[in-house]
A and B are shown apart, each in its own frame.
Chain A
């Protein structure tokens, strides 16, 4: 668990790059620092492995104040991924990947085995790439090597500063998926900087939404989309917050809440979809092909029913209007 306690940072004079930040990160969560350029995301991240000093307040990892730890040891226990060029150009891929184990004094065999294991994790042939240098790899491959380098010594905490920012959208999505897959296995506590709201919605367990060094809202993506706390937050997440929210929900969840509709047999050419598909893509499918229904299958390929635009709209209404209203009612009662 990582706790930020009244953390502030000023580089020069009185202006604060980070201003009295307070929040806690649970073990195994991905928390994304989100906000416009210059709002202090990188600064906040870099204070965790003490690449930046903390001006006021403290950061605790498992109740241990990081200010009291040896900074070299601290950094070796925290994986760190940066946007571009983080790989050492003078070292080959294997040396790059195993740099932290090497600094920690692992023996040759253990390092090599770990290298092979990590390369398999990202589906690159360990032998083929071993002796290659970073400049002989594509941007996407370099970025993935950067990620496994941070994982090499199996650190409990990872810091990632716009790790996929420099990639083109297609590759980025692929690597995001791959990364989420890896995270499901390794369950690291991850602090992740992004300024891409879609990336944050897709990857985050929680989002820290920032402005001018201060936290505007801290919560789950769904929380932030459904109850933006103030004008700034709702502007930042955009008018399409309802649609964005659909990407967090699956057909299965809709089915549970309001059920599917019966299949209209008169429509011949209907698309098929799995029940775990997210609602945003399902809606896109309905809109694109101008079909009135999409037929829903479960994992055993059994037909569950059909879904229509109308159905999606009803679900959205429920999620965005009725539920928040109920929640507000409840709050009032408690008060």
Chain B
């Protein structure tokens, strides 16, 4: 145990550096994923035929083993000399987050009580006004739940990014495996889990704040 604490002491700033890198990668990926996913989710509510196709495609994406998806990125991004590193990792993470975000956004908006939609039309709201004033606020808890799922998923899958040279906490695990360094593997895993738990809690708090008071049960 003492030995492990010693290991942590010596490597503290290295571990911290990797953690920051991990947060950066996942953070940027999730922001992009939200912008794209929520927009697509909202758009799909206006286009039923496309919705089925897109949701099916997003489901398929999620079934590709993560390591394979990262691998697939490499040849594509080699074309623009970005074969390994930050960019392909980012794109892979964005793709992975799409299903929970798109699906939740789409179904949350679709499932807003028809009586509210009717009332919104009845008072003379335009489409956009209805979306912004009624549909999104009432769908928010479910949309946020999708985003939370995506964040937790990304923090975990972000570990794989290390394999294609994008750094982050996966580095500890990769190095640990190659050097059979138990401490390194354990540290990497624990920090990833902690990160996931903290992120989920923080997002839950944000969700509570954003949710209009009238729709908490």
Chain A, range 235-294, C-beta contacts under 8 Å to B:
none
Q: Which residues of A contact B (CB under 8 A)?
A: 49, 51, 72-76, 80, 82, 84-92, 99-100, 103, 133-136, 149
Instruction: Say yes or no: B124 contacts A100, CB within 8 Å.
Output: yes
Instruction: Say yes or no: B122 contacts A80, CB within 8 Å.
Output: yes
Instruction: Say yes or no: B214 contacts A92, CB within 8 Å.
Output: yes
Query: Given that A73-B124, A75-B124 are contacting pairs, would A89 and B119 also be in contact in the complex, using a CB cutoff of 8 Å?
Result: no
Encode B110-142 as 1/0 by CB contact (under 8 A) with A: 000101101111111110010001100110000
- Given A75-B123, A90-B138, A90-B212: 5 more A-B contacts, CB < 8 Å: A82-B118, A89-B116, A91-B133, A103-B124, A136-B214
Q: Which residues of B contact A (CB under 8 A)?
A: 113, 115-116, 118-126, 129, 133-134, 137-138, 212-215
Instruction: Say yes or no: A135 contacts B214, CB within 8 Å.
Output: yes
User: Complex formed: what's the CA distance from A99 to B124 in Å?
Assistant: 10
In the bound complex, residues from chain A placing their C-beta under 8 Å from that of B116 are 85-86, 88-89
Q: Which residue of A lies closest to B215 (CB)?
A: A89
Instruction: Say yes or no: B124 contacts A90, CB within 8 Å.
Output: no
Instruction: Say yes or no: A85 contacts B115, CB within 8 Å.
Output: yes
Instruction: Say yes or no: B126 contacts A85, CB within 8 Å.
Output: no
Our pick among B119, B137, B213 for the contact of A87 (Cβ within 8 Å) is: B119
In the bound complex, residues from chain A placing their C-beta under 8 Å from that of B138 are 88-90
Q: Which residue of B lies closest to A149 (CB)?
A: B123
User: Complex formed: what's the CA distance from A100 to B121 in Å?
Assistant: 11
In the bound complex, residues from chain B placing their C-beta under 8 Å from that of A75 are 121-124
Instruction: Say yes or no: B126 contacts A72, CB within 8 Å.
Output: yes
In the bound complex, residues from chain B placing their C-beta under 8 Å from that of A82 are 115, 118-119, 122
Q: How many A-B residue pairs have CB under 8 A?
A: 71
Our pick among A84, A100, A136 for the contact of B123 (Cβ within 8 Å) is: A100
Our pick among B123, B137, B212 for the contact of A103 (Cβ within 8 Å) is: B123
Nearest CB on B from A94, distance (A): 12
Q: Which residue of B lies closest to A86 (CB)?
A: B119
Instruction: Say yes or no: B134 contacts A80, CB within 8 Å.
Output: no
Instruction: Say yes or no: B115 contacts A88, CB within 8 Å.
Output: no
Nearest CB on B from A112, distance (A): 18
Q: Which residue of A lies closest to B211 (CB)?
A: A90
Nearest CB on A from B49, distance (A): 20
Nearest CB on A from B143, distance (A): 13
User: Complex formed: what's the CA distance from A74 to B138 in Å?
Assistant: 26
In the bound complex, residues from chain A placing their C-beta under 8 Å from that of B123 are 75-76, 80, 99-100, 103, 149
In the bound complex, residues from chain A placing their C-beta under 8 Å from that of B137 are 90
In the bound complex, residues from chain B placing their C-beta under 8 Å from that of A88 are 116, 119-120, 133-134, 138, 214
Q: Which residue of A lies closest to B115 (CB)?
A: A85
User: Complex formed: what's the CA distance from A92 to B124 in Å?
Assistant: 19
Query: Given that A75-B122, A103-B125 are contacting pairs, would A84 and B214 also be in contact in the complex, using a CB cutoff of 8 Å?
Result: no
User: Complex formed: what's the CA distance from A6 to B154 in Å?
Assistant: 61
User: Complex formed: what's the CA distance from A107 to B22 in Å?
Assistant: 48
Instruction: Say yes or no: A86 contacts B115, CB within 8 Å.
Output: yes
Instruction: Say yes or no: A91 contacts B214, CB within 8 Å.
Output: yes
User: Complex formed: what's the CA distance from A72 to B128 in Å?
Assistant: 12
Instruction: Say yes or no: A85 contacts B122, CB within 8 Å.
Output: no
Q: Which residue of A lies closest to B125 (CB)?
A: A103
